[in-house]
Amino acid sequence: MREYLSRSKFFFIYAGVFSFFINLLMLAYPIYMMQLFDRVFSSRSYETLVMLTIAVLGALAVWAALEMLRSRLLVRAGVALDRMLGEPVLGELLKTARAGGGGQGGSMRDVQTLRGFLTGHTVFAFFDLPWAPLYILLIYLFHPLFGVIATIGIALLFTLTWIDEKTTKPLLNEANLRYRHAARFLDSSVRNAEVVNAMHMTPAVGERYRRLNDEVLGLQALASNRAGMIVATTKFLRLALQIAMLATGAYLIIGQHTSPGIMIGATLIFGRALAPIELATMSWKAGIEARAAYARLSELLGAAAQAARRPLELPPPQGRVSVERVVFARDPARPVLKGVSFALEPGEVLGIIGPSGAGKSTLARVILGLWSPASGAVRLDGAAIADWAPAQIGPALGYLPQDVELFAGTVGDNIARLGDAAALSEQVIAAARRAHVHELILGLPHGYETEIGDGGAALSGGQRQRIALARAVFGSPRLVVLDEPNSNLDSEGEDGLVRTLTKLKEDGVTTIVISHRPSLLAGADKLLVLKDGKVEMQGPRQEVLARLGRLGVYGGPARPLAVGETAGRT
C-alpha cells in the first residue's frame, strides 16, 4: 500500500492544493453578504451591487471548476488503485485459496471499498477538514466572542465524532467479519445448488443462512442505531450553534460592538467550517470501513512483499522429479503425508494407488507446489518447486484435478489456459488432438468457439474432464499430474485417455497418474502404493503388482485393483 501511495501521491497532492483554493474561494459568498449589508445597503449604490455580484459569480465559477477537477483527480486515483492493486491482490487470494485458507476472501471487496471511498463525495470532507482552523481564525478576527462559540462548537462536534467511532467501530468490524462468513456460506450453497435442489435441502440452507445473516443484521442495526443518535445530535448541535452565533451577533449589534454584515459573515463562515465536520461525522462509517480495508490490504500485500523475490531463470525443465521425505499436515498432530519419497526420470510414468483417505490428492498438490510441505522437498530438475519462476514453470506443468473446474468462456479459451485462443489456435488444436478430444469438440454447436457457461455448465461431466485433459497437455508440459482422470469417462473417453498417456510417454513427458482402474496403469513404469500417508510399497509396475498379488490384493486377472474400492479424495 505504501508503494501505491508513493506512485499516486501526485493525485492527492494536487487534490490538496485544489482544496486550499476551493476553501479560499468559498469565502467569496460570506464576504459578498458582508459587503451587501454594510456597504450596498448603506450607500444604495447600484454600481457597487453589480460589481460585487459579478465578482462573486466569477469566484464561484472558478470554485466550481476546481471542484470538478478535484473530483476527477480522485476518480482517477480510485481507478489507479484498482488497476494497481487488483492483480496483486487477486494473486494473493489465489495463493491463499491454494493453501486452503479463507481469511482473505474479502480482499477484492476491500479494493472496491477503497476505490468507492476515493471516488465518492465523502472523501471531500477529509480534504476540507484541515482548512477549518482558517475559518475559525477569521471568525476570531470578526470578534473574539464569535471565535469562542465556534471553538466550543467544533470541539463538541469532534467529541461526538470520537464517541461515534469508539461505539460503532468494534460493532462494524465484527459485522464485516460475520458478513464474510455468511457470504462464503452463500457462495458454497450456490455452487452446490444441484445437490441442494436434488435432496430438497433449500429449507435447511435457508435457515442456516438466515441465522448467519441475522447476526450481521443485528450488529449492523445496533451500530446504525448508535450512529443515528450521534448524527441526530450533531445536526441539532450545528443548528443550535448557528442560532447561538446569530443571537450573539444580535447582542453585539444592539451594543454597537459589530455590524449586521459582520454578524452574517461570521455565521456563514462558521457554517462553512462546520460543513466538512458534519459530513465527516455522517460518513464516518464509510471512513472506518475504508481505513479497515486499507489496513487489511496493507497486511496482505506487506506480507506478500516480504516473501516476494524474483527467482533466477533456470534452464528449461526436463521433467526429472524428486520427492524427498515429504511431510504435510494441517494439524501437526495428524499429518496427512508421512515421509513420502520417490524419484522419476524424464518421460517416466508413475501410477499412484491406495485406499480413500490415503493422501493421494494431497500428494499431487504438494508435487505441483500448490501446498507447501511441513518438511521435506519436491524438486523439479534438482530445483525446489518454489524456486522456479511462475512464468517459466507454469507452461511446463499440466494438472487435471479430481474435481474438474472450467472457466466461463469458449472451449478454446479453456484449452489455451485463458490465453488468446485465436493467436494460439495451432497449439489449442494440437492439445485437443493429443487428448483425443478434437472430434468431440467439432461436434459441439460452435466447435472451439462454443460457450460453455460458468464452470462448464453446458457440458457433461465427461466432456468437461476431457477438455480439462486437453488443457493439462496444452503447450509443451514436462510434468503432467492426473488425479482420477477417468472418473467421469465412458469407454470411448477412457480409450482416448489411454492413448493420451501413451503419447505423453513417447514425447518424454513425466506423468503421474492417480487412479483406481488398472487399465490406466498398464503403461506405467512404476507404481506407488500409498496408505495412511505413507509409502507402503513402490517400484517397477510388474514387481509391485506381483507383490500385491501375493498379498491377496488381486484375486485374479479379472478382479480390478482393490486397494480402495472407490475413488477417494484427500
Residue 326 is assigned to a structural domain of this protein: no
In a domain, 560, yes or no: no
Residue 513 and residue 501 in contact, taking contact as beta carbons nearer than 8 Å? yes
Is the pLDDT reported for residue 284 higher than 70?
A: no
Q: Kindly state whether residue 445 falls inside one of the protein's structural domains.
A: yes
Query: pLDDT value at position 111?
Result: 76
The reply to whether 319 falls in a domain is no
Of the listed ranges 88-102, 164-178, 312-326, the one predicted with least confidence: 88-102
Statement: residue 476 has pLDDT above 70: yes
Whether residues 64 and 210 share a domain: the answer is yes
Mean pLDDT score, 166-180: 83
Give the CATH number, domain containing residue 447. 3.40.50.300
Check whether residue 292 and residue 384 sit in a common domain: no
Task: Report if residue 309 sits inside a domain.
Answer: no
570 band by pLDDT with thresholds 50, 70 and 90: very low
CA distance 14 to 9: 9
Give residue 472's pLDDT band: very low, low, confident or very high (50, 70, 90): very high
pTM recorded for the entire structure: 0.65
Considering the domain architecture, whether residues 248 and 352 belong to the same structural domain is answered as no
The answer on 169 and 108 residing in a single domain is yes
Which residue is listed with cell 469438440? Answer: 441
Shared domain for 101 and 198, answered yes or no, is yes
Per-residue pLDDT tens digits for 293-318:
777 777 777 655 544 555 677 888 89
Q: How confident is the model at residue 563 (pLDDT cuts 50, 70, 90)?
A: very low
Q: What integer pLDDT is reported at residue 105 of this predicted model?
A: 47
pLDDT of 442 strictly over 90: yes
Over range 395-405, report the average pLDDT. 90
Note down the domain range covering 21: 2-303
Q: Specify which of 210-214, 510-514, 544-548 reaches the highest per-range mean pLDDT.
A: 510-514
Q: Name all contacts of 484-487 with Cβ < 8 Å and 24+ positions apart.
A: 484/402, 484/514, 484/515, 484/516, 484/567, 484/569, 485/400, 485/513, 485/515, 485/520, 486/515, 486/517, 486/520, 487/402, 487/567
Mean pLDDT lowest among 117-126, 322-331, 410-419, 556-565: 556-565
CA distance 163 to 372: 46
Residue 377 grid coordinates: 522437498
Per the domain annotation, does 566 fall within a domain? no
Q: Are both 381 and 485 inside the same structural domain?
A: yes
Give tens-digit pLDDT for 125-167. 778 888 888 888 989 988 899 999 989 988 888 888 788 778 8
Return the pLDDT at 509: 94
- Do 265 and 396 reside in the same domain of the chain? no
Calculate the average pLDDT of the chain: 83
Q: Answer yes or no: is 270 within a domain.
A: yes
Q: What percent of the chain has pLDDT above 70?
A: 88
Q: Give the whole-angstrom CA distance, residue 492 versus residue 386.
A: 38
CB 504 within 8 Å of CB 480 = yes
Considering the domain architecture, whether residues 122 and 171 belong to the same structural domain is answered as: yes
Domain boundary among the residues 254, 275, 303 is at: 303
The residue-averaged pLDDT of 283-294 equals 74
**Coil/strand/helix, residue 94:** helix
Length of the chain in terms of residues written: 570
Are residues 167 and 71 part of one domain?
yes
299 & 398 share domain? no
1 band by pLDDT with thresholds 50, 70 and 90:
low
Would you give the end-to-end CA distance of the chain in angstroms? 37
Which pLDDT value is given to residue 568? 37
What CATH code is carried by the domain that includes residue 63? Answer: 1.20.1560.10
Q: Which residue has the higher pLDDT, 359 or 238?
A: 359
- Within-domain flag for 106: yes
pLDDT category at 94 given cuts 50, 70, 90 is low
**What are the tens digits of pLDDT across the range 71-84?**
888 888 777 777 77
Query: 383 and 242 in one domain?
Result: no
- Domain's final residue, options 251, 281, 303: 303
Domain count for the chain: 2
For the stretch 187-210, pLDDT in tens is: 888 878 778 888 888 888 888 889
More confident residue, 554 or 384: 384
**Beta-strand pair 321-328/375-380:** antiparallel
